[in-house]
Amino acid sequence: MDVSRLLDELNDKQREAVAAPLSNALVLAGAGSGKTRVLVHRIAWLMEVENIAPFSILAVTFTNKAAREMRGRIESLMGRSLHTMWIGTFHGLAHRLLRAHHAEAGLPENFQILDSDDQYRLIRRILKSLNLDEKHWAPRQIQWYINGNKDEGLRPHHIETHGDHTQQKMRDIYAAYQEACDRAGLVDFAELLLRAHELWAKNPDILANYQRRFRAVLVDEFQDTNNIQYAWLRMLCSGNTNNIMIVGDDDQSIYGWRGANIDNLHHFLKDFDTPTTIRLEQNYRSTGTILKAANAVIDNNQGRLGKELWTQGSEGEPISVYAGFNELDEARFVVSQLKDWLQQGNALKDSAILYRNNAQSRVLEEALLHEGLPYRIYGGLRFFERQEIKDALGYLRMVNHPHDDAAFERVVNTPSRGIGDKTLTQVRDTARLHNCSLWQASHLLISEGALKGRAANALQGFTGLVTELEQQLLDEPLEEQANKAIKHSGLYAMYQAERGEKAQARLENLEELVTACKQFIVPEEADEMTPLAAFLAHASLEAGEAQAQLDQDAVQVMTIHTAKGLEFPLVFMAGVEEGMFPSQMTNDEPGRMEEERRLCYVGMTRAMQKLFITYAESRRLYGQDKYHTASRFIREIPSDCVLEVRLKSTVQRPIHNRFSRATSHEAFESSGFQLGQRVRHRKFGEGIVLNYEGSGEHARVQVNFDEYGSKWLVLAYAKLEQA
């Protein structure tokens, strides 16, 4: 291969990084400057020029999707398949290690991954078994505490409580939780990382093996590594035979709330052997205007490492800011702009709607559905996290590994088979007493005749069903296993009996699960596992980063956190108002405001050509209407980068960052009505004025009627009255 090809389409600084001599290196650069591109070319360079085998390369990405894309790009650059190269997320890689060395890691061969929802349920059960009241010991907080300690590498016996009663109790809960996990062969997400770290710490020969193997280690989005991930990398590279290149941007550190430590960027420079630092400064992603605006916003943060970003590209269009009257109006505006985008001959998949909180997606989704625009949600309502899917997976997990207590609890009485709380308490107590799984405890109780007639029959019904399923599923292809589990467990019939739209959607999801099984290809790293075990691990790890078919042209909908590293020609940032973004909680914690601002920077720099920022002046939150003003982040954008948008009929005029309610709707209000006003219509009854367009005899208003929903009416004919 002509290696100069690997340096084509790179600027001088990027080339310097790609062709750097083997040593440790930090590539520090702002958004869209080609950090990820550098990593891709660097990996190809290492193989081609430094003769490092794919087998000896370890690359870490932030999401599974990013890992797949990176592998695809390197393979197309090299023109061959590179299956022996390890590319994945920290969690994915840790999982792989633990599978390969489960015995040394103290895990059963078929250990299961406990996702965040399962973890929460398990914690609640532990609290119950310890007779602790959830009111005083909030399960979410315990979950936070356990994961936080694991992220710091701390086991219960490491934790100093200084005689503090609450601290001691928390530590005891953590210990009881961990015992329950160990007993059932369950590994939560934080545990994956901690175990993988301990595996190496306790087994120097295994560590040495990987140190010899991975001559090159590469890490993307390094600014968001947490302490245990950092320690893991450091241990791997302590053999001095490895070279590590990390790329990152301190301005894009947005997971501090989840334990990521921005200081790891600084630590890297002193903990690793003589690293070189390379800075990239040219941005290839966004227009000049978007870049100028994003730079101005992030400039309000203190103590940055400092980077100047410039672009050769055109200035592009101004950023459009739209003040919705409420969140429905905001969503409607976004959808109308998307329709324009589509009409101009663009593809929907080139557009993204980003928001601060998952809960914001519902209104946006409804608006998209209403207009029939296909969309794909990343994160949030994840496919593999839905109730019915987790039920079905629960049965599959029982078949795969009946000692999986989390799965047992999930499905033992779903569908209902008359197993009451009392029986379950007995099962749990027995399990604790004998230090065995719930499954074993059930058998014990049944064989000892310790249960009364009806209870015994009910529990036996369940154990019998699982045993039967196990036999029926034997040697079946994966999709048939899923199909049988769904049907024979009674899940399908249960949702069928429920009726209604929601139940229908659940049935469709169950069918989709069978399809997912059919499409599932056992990944290389899981070739020693059964297809079922591999699929279950996949379901836990990926939790459906995307859920719709990939080939469909659809708007991409996700939180800003999820959008990290991605780019789209058209971007909407919705809900950019004080109290939402920055969020209400920001004022309570030091450093949070700066993290929110970095999040805003990440969001804005996802846009390539056109950025819309929208907010709602009033928003219904948790059943209450809240009134908000434009976010300070909007006010931090230089006014020459911004255009306030009015709907079609009205003229677009530049604004000087005066986002007040008073000035925005003057024209309409001269007609005698106001946005937000209650009105009465002869036929449709009462409703609220949501929007308007046009003027004179063409003026139309949109009214959200209490009974009939939202309608557009010609003002001249509608004969609206004030209600």
Q: Report if residue 565 touches ligand ATP, rule: CB under 6 A.
A: yes
Which of Mg ion, ligand ATP, none lies near 14, with the C-beta cut-off 5 to 8 A by kind?
Answer: ligand ATP
Please state, in angstroms and rounded to a whole number, the distance separating the CA atoms of residues 645 and 665: 12
Stretch that binds ligand ATP, among 3-11, 137-145, 208-216, 267-275 (CB under 6 A): 3-11
Using an 8 Å Cβ cutoff, are 201 and 235 in contact? yes
Q: What is the DSSP string of 396-433?
A: HHHHH-TT-HHHHHHHTTSS--S--HHHHHHHHHHHHH
Looking at the Cβ atoms of 514 and 563, the one nearer to Mg ion is: 563
Q: Report if residue 31 touches ligand ATP, rule: CB under 6 A.
A: yes
**Distance from CA of residue 52 to its chain's centroid?**
33
Q: Is 234 a catalytic residue?
A: no
Q: Report if residue 607 touches ligand ATP, rule: CB under 6 A.
A: no
Please identify which residue in 71, 285, 410, 428 interacts with ligand ATP, judged by CB under 6 A.
285
Q: What are the E-state strand segments in 518-641?
A: 555-559, 568-574, 607-621, 624-627
- Best CA proximity match to 352, nearest among 378, 329, 371: 378
Q: Which residues are 505's β-sheet partners?
A: none
Please identify which residue in 6, 13, 14, 573 interacts with ligand ATP, judged by CB under 6 A.
14
Residue that has been written with the tokens 């990398």 in this structure: 233
Please state, in angstroms and rounded to a whole number, the distance separating the CA atoms of residues 423 and 689: 56
Stretch that binds Mg ion, among 34-42, 111-119, 133-141, 623-631 (CB under 5 A): 34-42
Q: Is 252 a catalytic residue?
A: yes
Q: Least distance from C-beta 523 to ligand ATP, angstroms?
A: 25
Structure tokens at 272: 């690793």
Stretch that binds ligand ATP, among 30-38, 194-202, 230-238, 540-548 (CB under 6 A): 30-38
Structure tokens at 89: 């997320």
Looking at residues 565 to 594 of the shown chain, list those that interact with Mg ion (rule: CB under 5 A).
Answer: 565
Options 151, 220, 409, 545, the catalytic residue: 220
Looking at the Cβ atoms of 252 and 289, the one nearer to ligand ATP is: 252
Burial code (b: 16+ CB inside 10 Å, e: under 16) for 548-581 equals eeeeeebbbbbbbbbbbbbbbebbbbbbbbbbbb
Q: Report if residue 310 touches ligand ATP, rule: CB under 6 A.
A: no
Q: Least distance from C-beta 693 to ligand ATP, angstroms?
A: 36
Q: Is 646 a catalytic residue?
A: no
| H runs (alpha helix) in 185-253 | 189-202, 204-213, 227-236
Q: Report if residue 24 touches ligand ATP, rule: CB under 6 A.
A: no
DSSP state of 176: H
Number of residues that bind ligand ATP (CB under 6 A): 18
Q: Is 35 a catalytic residue?
A: yes
Structure tokens at 398: 């029982």
Stretch that binds Mg ion, among 35-43, 186-194, 238-246, 252-260 (CB under 5 A): 35-43
Q: Least distance from C-beta 574 to ligand ATP, angstroms?
A: 20
Q: Which amino acid is at 71?
A: R
Q: Least distance from C-beta 561 to ligand ATP, angstroms?
A: 13
Q: Is 249 a catalytic residue?
A: no
**Bridge-based pairing state of the strands 624-627 and 607-621:** antiparallel
Using an 8 Å Cβ cutoff, are 643 and 654 in contact? yes
List residues forming the annotated binding site for ATP.
29-36
Q: Report if residue 9 touches ligand ATP, rule: CB under 6 A.
A: yes
Q: How far is CA 285 from CA 31, 294, 314, 515, 554, in A?
A: 8, 12, 11, 36, 21
Stretch that binds ligand ATP, among 33-41, 179-187, 550-558, 639-647 (CB under 6 A): 33-41
Looking at the Cβ atoms of 96 and 285, the one nearer to ligand ATP is: 285
Check whether the bond before 415 is cis (ω within 30° of 0).
yes
Ramachandran category for residue 672: left, alpha or beta (phi over 0 → left; psi -120 to 50 → alpha): left
Using an 8 Å Cβ cutoff, are 341 and 570 in contact? yes
Looking at residues 212 to 271 of the shown chain, list those that interact with ligand ATP (rule: CB under 6 A).
Answer: 249, 252
Q: Is 36 a catalytic residue?
A: yes
Looking at the Cβ atoms of 54 and 565, the one nearer to ligand ATP is: 565
Which of ligand ATP, Mg ion, none lies near 33, with the C-beta cut-off 5 to 8 A by kind?
Answer: ligand ATP
List residues forming the annotated binding site.
29-36
Task: Please report, as ranges, the residues that interact with Mg ion according to CB under 5 A.
Answer: 35-36, 565
Task: Please report, as ranges, the residues that interact with ligand ATP according to CB under 6 A.
Answer: 9-11, 14, 29, 31-37, 249, 252, 284-285, 565, 567
Cite the active site residues: 35-36, 220-221, 252, 606
